[in-house]
């Protein structure tokens, strides 16, 4: 069976039946250049500490090899800022990729000069290109020039031309382009978007991981089973406002937690001690409360918190109202009443989105709020809800609690997921669409 996406108007990133699907393509005798996200975390000795991203791309890579195609894998790693830097070399992960694939991997030490290596590839062979971001053309941003500089616009224009040339070079290595890097789909980079211009419509497509991500986002944006509960946490309102506003038209329950709690408490006249608080966002917080009322959204905010006398795991703690935190103390986690409120808004839900922790979960003594949310999501999922957990920190949370396999879908995308849910078009997806 092929995966056919319905064209829902809410999700601007879905793929319709006119687009080429990986399943429908026969890669036999073809050279496929595949953009993956192998930006895996490494320890100080260059060992991979979490290979989720490599495993995530395997189904796509295996399909191409199984068909009898040859593979050219390309990725970025870290932020080398357009310069060669061995610390970010993909050579460090070559053996791990070979092991995961069960295939030898040839390494091309210069991604922009790999034409010969690509030309020599035989069916079933795998070539891994060196970090794309060793070239500033990948990101397409001018380097060494300030945005305020009068010459910036000209430099940007010139870089965009160079980006096209770089993308054209990468494209020249292959017959077909596959984008399976959801984590960078919100970037219009040479390898994630511009390259697609150099392939015919029938020779460019999304990989399986991308298809899965798009389907998961669709369930949240278009295929909503009610009640729908969204949980937004993390540190600041300002970074989540776009998504909060977009969700307000869709959800039944909106839980706002984490550091945002204190901006809302202060906006309502609370004393928040030295808790994280955006004083310039108090009006915005009041506006969100007002909008929720107007739209009939059940806005669930923290009522009590675990306050600490310093920002540390070993700090002294006390449970207090979020409206009355003592001088010098800061709220670092949700309190027991709040945890119950959150769990109740999650329990009966049939669609759940979680982005951002409810406290400083990195400290073991301040995980209870996030844990209560994760447990309630697992319960709801067992009762038939669709639950999507996305964004680096909430994924880290479910991993920390060992619950990642008990929710419906854990997204690999941070920024890309948020932008998709905000209703933005992702350039990496738009580029392969007809």
Sign of CA dihedral 363, 365, 366, 367: positive
CB of 361 to ligand AMP, least distance (A): 6
Listed in sequence order, the residues at least 6 apart from 287 whose beta carbon sits closer than 8 Å to its beta carbon are: none
Instruction: Provide, for the chain, the percentages of residues in helix, strand and coil under a 3-state DSSP scheme, each rounded to the nearest 5.
Output: 40, 15, 45
| Nearer Cβ to ligand AMP (156/236) | 236
- Helix ranges restricted to H, 227-353: 241-248, 260-267, 282-295, 336-347
Q: 392, 400, 423, 424: which one is catalytic?
A: 392
Distance separating alpha carbons of residues 128 and 28, to the nearest angstrom: 19
Sign of CA dihedral 301, 228, 374, 354: negative
| Nearer Cβ to ligand AMP (79/226) | 79
CB of 233 to ligand AMP, least distance (A): 6
CB of 145 to ligand AMP, least distance (A): 29
Q: 53, 63, 212, 339: which one is catalytic?
A: 53
Burial class (CB in 10 A: 0-12, 13-18, 19+), 144: exposed
CA nearest to 81, candidates 142, 163, 148:
142
Task: Summarize as ranges the residues that interact with ligand AMP (CB under 6 A).
Answer: 234-236, 239, 258-259, 276, 331-332, 356-357, 359-360, 362, 391, 393
| Nearer Cβ to ligand AMP (194/332) | 332
CB of 240 to ligand AMP, least distance (A): 7
Q: In the annotation, is 328 catalytic?
A: no
Q: In the annotation, is 415 catalytic?
A: yes
Q: 156, 415, 423, 424: which one is catalytic?
A: 415
| Nearer Cβ to ligand AMP (207/357) | 357
What 281-285 contacts at long range (C-beta under 8 Å, 24+ apart), as own/partner pairs, is 281/236, 281/237, 281/238, 284/237, 284/238, 284/241, 285/237
Q: For the beta carbon of residue 155, count every other beta carbon within 10 angstroms.
A: 16
Q: 12, 30, 160, 236: which one is catalytic?
A: 236
| Nearer Cβ to ligand AMP (207/234) | 234
CB of 433 to ligand AMP, least distance (A): 30
Q: In the annotation, is 53 catalytic?
A: yes
Residues annotated catalytic, as ranges? 53, 236, 392, 415
């Amino acid at each position: 069976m092929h995966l056919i996406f319905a064209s829902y108007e809410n999700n601007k990133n879905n793929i319709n039946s006119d687009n080429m699907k990986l399943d429908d393509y026969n890669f036999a005798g073809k050279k496929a250049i595949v953009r993956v996200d192998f930006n895996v975390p490494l320890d100080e000795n260059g060992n991979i500490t979490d290979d989720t991203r490599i495993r995530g791309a395997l189904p796509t890579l295996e399909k191409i090899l199984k068909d009898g195609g040859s593979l050219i894998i390309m990725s970025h790693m870290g932020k080398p800022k357009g310069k060669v830097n061995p610390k970010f070399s993909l050579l460090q992960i070559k053996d791990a990729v070979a092991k995961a694939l069960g295939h030898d991997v040839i390494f091309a030490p210069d991604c922009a000069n790999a034409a010969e290596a690509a030309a020599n590839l035989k069916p079933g062979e795998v070539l891994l290109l060196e970090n794309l971001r060793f070239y500033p053309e990948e990101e397409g941003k001018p380097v060494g020039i300030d945005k305020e500089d009068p010459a910036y616009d000209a430099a940007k224009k010139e870089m965009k031309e160079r980006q096209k040339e770089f993308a054209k070079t990468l494209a020249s290595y292959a017959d077909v382009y596959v984008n399976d890097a959801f984590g960078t789909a919100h970037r219009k980079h040479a390898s994630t978007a511009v390259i697609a211009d150099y392939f015919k419509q029938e020779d460019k497509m999304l990989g399986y991981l991308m298809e899965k991500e798009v389907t998961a986002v669709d369930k949240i944006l278009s295929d909503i089973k009610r009640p729908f509960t969204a949980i937004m946490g993390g540190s600041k309102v300002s970074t989540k406002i776009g998504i909060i506003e977009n969700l307000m038209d869709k959800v039944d329950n909106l839980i706002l937690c984490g550091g945002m709690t204190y901006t809302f408490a202060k906006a309502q006249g609370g004393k928040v001690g030295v808790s994280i608080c955006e004083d310039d966002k108090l009006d915005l917080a009041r506006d969100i409360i007002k909008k929720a009322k107007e739209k009939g959204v059940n806005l669930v905010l923290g009522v009590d918190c675990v306050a600490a006398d310093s920002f540390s795991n070993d700090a002294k703690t006390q449970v207090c109202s979020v409206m009355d935190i003592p001088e010098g103390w800061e709220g670092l986690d949700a309190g027991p009443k709040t945890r119950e409120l959150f769990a109740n808004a999650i329990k009966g839900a049939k669609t759940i989105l979680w982005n951002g922790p409810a406290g400083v979960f990195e400290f073991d003594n301040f995980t209870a709020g996030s844990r209560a949310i994760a447990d309630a999501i697992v319960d709801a999922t067992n009762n038939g809800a669709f639950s999507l957990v996305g964004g680096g920190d909430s994924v880290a949370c479910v991993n920390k609690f060992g619950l990642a396999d008990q929710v419906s879908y854990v997204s690999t995308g941070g920024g890309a997921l948020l932008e998709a849910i905000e209703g933005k078009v992702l350039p990496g997806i738009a580029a392969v669409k007809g």
